[in-house]
Structure 1
């Protein structure tokens, strides 16, 4: 008998599981670009703990296991930056990423006054780009990340929810 994946706000006790999950999930991105110095792989546990304490962080849980995570914060201009969306490789393709995005977008809008959502994806990360387009994001720019990876910048207006399936 299967268990349902639940989405909830992260707590400080989730930081270590988020840290480990992030390291696992972003290995495929690092391999895609031949760059193992991308931010999610070099971020420290203390930095993850700090983000959980200050940012809007959601997790997907399967029982007690954290199997997905996403983070967001809102600047003074009302632009919300969303990042480090990850879902355990064995559970990808089941809508968990879209559910996490919807949760963080809702919280950033209702609790932190976001007017616009912005996120980035590597230019070769077709699966991620497909997800973002499906949930309403549109490409607005291309930039080079601090790690040298070319990133596609995508945005959508707060409240512009698309289908999550």
Structure 2
């Protein structure tokens, strides 16, 4: 491609770009489960801005374009809940999702209170499940939330001492 994908902290100014990308990326999930009212497709810009302000949000940029993002928050139990890992469809299957996941884990690993990472996906989302398993996540629960959707929660222990650096990856 000739350009590098850079990963950095998201800002409030990135919110609109993230929301548009989120809407694009979750179309395939909505189709897979036959539900276009899923939260990522109905989230408002104000809700997203609040989520960015209270947690950790990263974006991946190709030049000036936001092409991927991930968000998360640590709770009082020591669990960093990672959510909404999205990669533009044209950038998928090049390792960017895994690099973003590694980057947000590295950020949370700096917090001595964080003991584990947790995320979830739908039971039919094989690409997501494959990525998470390849990064050491194991299923800890399954919850049927509708006639077509079972949510699989996956978890892994936080590795301390991982030092976040400058996240630069070639696309």
When normalised by structure 1's length, the TM-score is: 0.92
Which residue matches 2:3? 3
Q: How many residues align structurally? A: 161
8 Å CA contact 1:29–1:125 kept in 2: the answer is yes
1:84 aligns with 2:84: yes
1:143 aligns with 2:147: no
Distance 2:113 2:99 in 1: 20
Structure 2 residue matching 1:117: 3-state secondary structure = strand
Which residue matches 2:13? 13
Which residue matches 2:25? 25
- 1:52-67 equivalences under 5 Å are 52-67=52-67
8 Å CA contact 1:38–1:147 kept in 2: the answer is no
Distance 1:147 1:61 in 2: 37
Which residue matches 1:104? 104
Name stretches of at least 5 consecutive residues in structure 1 with no aligned partner: none
Name stretches of at least 5 consecutive residues in structure 2 with no aligned partner: 163-171
Can you list the C-alpha shifts for 1:96-121, whole angstroms capped at 9, x where unaligned?
10111111111112147311011001
8 Å CA contact 2:33–2:148 kept in 1: the answer is no
Distance 2:149 2:11 in 1: 31
Deviation for aligned residue 1:128: 0.5
Distance 1:10 1:147 in 2: 35
Deviation for aligned residue 1:149: 2.5
Structure 2 residue matching 1:37: 3-state secondary structure = coil
When normalised by structure 2's length, the TM-score is: 0.89
Structure 2 residue matching 1:128: 3-state secondary structure = helix
Can you list the C-alpha shifts for 1:55-105, whole angstroms capped at 9, x where unaligned?
100011001110000011011010111110000000000111011111111
- 1:95-134 equivalences under 5 Å are 95-111=95-111, 113-134=113-134
Change (3 A) 1:96 1:77: same
Deviation for aligned residue 1:147: 9.8
Higher mean C-alpha deviation, range 129-138 or range 111-120: 111-120
4+ residue runs over 2 A deviation: 144-149
